[in-house]
Amino acid sequence: MSRPARHRVLPGFRLSLGFSWFYLGLIVLIPLSSLFLRTFSLSWEEFWGIVTTPRALAAYRLSFGASLAAALANVVFGLLVAWVLVRYRFPGRDVLESLVDLPFALPTAVAGLTLTTLFSAQGWYGQYLEALGLKVAYTSVGVAVALTFIGLPFVVRTVQPVLEDIDVDVEEAAATLGASPWAVFRRVLLPALFPALLSGFTLAFARALGEYGSVVFISGNMPMRTEIVPLLIITRLEQYDYAGATAIAIVMLGASFSLLLAVNLLHRWSQRRLEARPGA
């Protein structure tokens, strides 16, 4: 049975093909290409000069550093939450299970406003943290906190299905053979969960790099200190410096595309590894 030949019986091939590519081109491809064409109007020296100013370098450092910290925090938090949701039953579990997606559903500006107010010096959290000498709002710590909030669901949602599929008798066998719970976790569970953790990490990292709404409120936006890359792009644009905005945007776009590519390669690699496993 050859699938393609069989499915050509169905109508709408030309219409859906034509409409899909037309709409994709109109909404996504043509607008995005304007970014690349605008960059080509710059000479290499001009481009390099714009993207390596001290202010831009400070913004890359903050964006990458805070996104990395947030994505790593999300790996730990995500694993914990996924584990508790999959393995335990307790009152309120269903509510928590639904709430995990809140950062996806909540408009980023609302997240930004709320976290800033909670973590400011007089806020519900800020007053206690500041008494301990930890300033969060208007510092790079605040940026990382906002990005952690935004990325929370990624690792939970990539790890959860894998954890549900793991054969419990493997864990049982390990335990019967005398492995401690910690050894079971480290030698049996972690290797199985590793690909999911890695792709959750990468997704959270990529999302954090481009994030704007939840960060602008809590960061305080001081150039050289708490200015993230997306904000620098907006600043350049407000000064009608289109070339500057475009060059920095290209650097950022390159970073997020590489991450996306990494996720896809990773996915294929882990898929192949799973298929290669005997009995799987």
Partner 1 sequence: MPPSTLVLRRNARSLSGPAFVRWGLIGAAVLLLGVFLIVPLVAVFTFAFQKGWEAYVSALTHPTALAAMRLTLLSAAIAVPFNLAFGLAASWLIARFQFRGRSLLMTLIDLPFSVSPVIAGLIFVLLFGRQGWLGPWLLDHDVRVIFAVPGIVLATVFVTFPYVARELLPVMEAQGSDEEEAALTLGASGWRTFLCVTLPKVKWGVLYGVILCNARAMGEFGAVSVVSGHVRGVTTTLPLHAEILYNEYDLAGAFAVASLLTLLAIVTLVVKKFVEWRSHPS
- Which residue in 62, 27, 40, 92 sits closest to 246, CA to CA? 40
CB of 212 to partner 1, least distance (A): 4
State the minimum distance, in angstroms, from the CB of residue 84 to partner 1.
4
Distance CA 101, CA 147 (A): 15
Q: How far is residue 231's CA from residue 125's CA, in Å, rounded to a whole number?
A: 26
Which of 57, 167 has the CB closer to partner 1?
Answer: 167
Q: Give me the long-range contacts of 81-85 (CB less than 8 A, separation at least 24).
A: 81/152, 81/156, 82/155, 82/156, 82/159, 82/160, 82/163, 83/159, 83/163, 85/156, 85/160
Based on CB atoms, which residue is closest to partner 1, 198 or 209?
Answer: 209
Q: Which is nearer to partner 1, 19 or 194 (CB)?
A: 19
Closest-CA residue to 218 (of 206, 208, 226, 210): 226
Nearer to partner 1, 15 or 276 (CB): 15
Output 58 or 84, the one with its CB closest to partner 1: 84
Per the listing, tokens 């799973």 go with 274
- Smallest separation, CB 54 to partner 1 (Å): 21
The least distance separating partner 1 from the CB of residue 194, rounded to whole angstroms, comes to 19
What letter represents residue 40's amino acid?
F
CB of 216 to partner 1, least distance (A): 8
Report the SS3 class of residue 98: helix
